[in-house]
Amino acid sequence: MSTSRLSRWRSTILADITPLKVSLDFRRIFFAQLVSQIGTQMTAVVLLLQIFDISRSNLATGIVGAVAFLPMVIGGLYGGSIADARDRRAVAYWTTTGLAGFSLVFAGMAYSDLRLLWPYYVLIAGQTWLSAIAQPTRMAIIPRLVGAELLPAANALAQISWNIGFTIGPVIGATIAKSYGFGWAYLIDALSFAGAVYAYWRLPPVVPDSDDDHKAGLASVLEGLRYLKGRKNLSMTFYVDIVAMAFGMQRVLFASIPLAFYGLAVVGFGPINLSLSGLLFAAPAVGAIVGAVASGWFTRIRRQGLAVVASIIVWGGAIALFGLTHQWWLGLIFLAIAGAADMVSAVFRNTMLQAAT
């Protein structure tokens, strides 16, 4: 293959890293968020493992999803209104600092060997609420850093960073929890936020446009919902994602599925034994990374809504097949396919939302 043809193939298939080249602020946030996302996913997995260790109950781990649901919805809606009305840099800085604080509290609870479940549920609700505020704010910063033309590429890179965390974090978290205890995993997570806190501190103010008079609060949330109602292409992205996540996201069961479905707790790869729970948590992210790395063709997609619908159909089919298999390696493959489909959906949903707002 000639050099020119190889270059064209790379630009067509592989992820476009131009945003990392042209924006120092985006580059700094990209790598800082990569590290903090690894820590965040360590804590997400270790919390489920610890709750299952305390209770030996699938119901107890399932309650994690229930207690997180309302804070996630309320925080996400309110977070969007904050991103429209406040300095996004300040919001991202303080929410990231607060999330590090939650991880420190979890570490203290683990080291004190607290066996009550309700304090964990309360803190998970608070952590979810703060994270739901942080996420739309972080995404709303990206257009200011790279511009509209590079948004699809920047979102694909953000998905790579996000999913590397989802891949590495669960395996590291489960391994550390098994070898050194739950507390160490939470402490490492707290430290992982340091780079992100610094990256947001270094940003210039990211304030709303001068002609934008939005104010954070219920009125702004209701205004946003009215705006969403009038934009069918945007409302569709919310509805299909909520349905897909509510009925197809089974992460809370990954702590118990290895023994219940496969009769295994660990799987061996030569001299290395890895937690099967950690691998289940990581598998969707592995697929998402593969999809994101091969995202060069995203910029040529014009019917982005259709791409979202197709991706969610693939997600649902892969999750259904995962539920039907009793071979752990086949289950990992189906989860990876689901993760790749979810990544494609997320990139186009974020691009549509950012372009419209």
Query: Rounded distance, CA 41 to CA 50, Å?
Result: 14
Q: pLDDT tens for residues 266-306?
A: 666 555 556 788 888 889 888 888 877 766 655 566 666 67
Angle at 274 between CA 269 and CA 280, to 5 degrees: 110
Burial of residue 225 (CB within 10 Å: 0-12, 13-18, 19+) is middle
- Confidence class for position 5, pLDDT limits 50, 70, 90: low
Q: What is the dihedral of CA 40, 45, 50, 55, to 10 degrees?
A: 130
Q: Sketch out the chain's domains with CATH numbers.
A: 21-356 (1.20.1250.20)
Contact of 159 with 346, CB cutoff 8 Å: yes
User: What digits encode the pLDDT tens for the residues 98-155?
Assistant: 999 999 999 999 999 999 999 999 999 999 999 988 888 888 888 888 877 888 788 8
Write down the pTM of the prediction.
Answer: 0.77
Give the whole-angstrom CA distance, residue 167 versus residue 162: 9
- The answer to whether 133 and 97 have CB atoms below 8 angstroms apart is no
Rounded-to-integer distance, Cα 80 and Cα 224, Å:
8
Instruction: Tell me the pLDDT tens digit for each residue of 48-87.
Output: 989 988 998 888 988 998 898 888 878 877 766 777 777 8
**Chain CA centroid to CA 202, Å:** 23
Contact 91, 134 (CB under 8 A): yes
Helices in the chain by DSSP H: which ranges?
A: 3-13, 18-22, 24-55, 58-85, 88-111, 118-146, 151-180, 182-192, 194-202, 218-229, 232-248, 257, 276-293, 304-324, 328-356
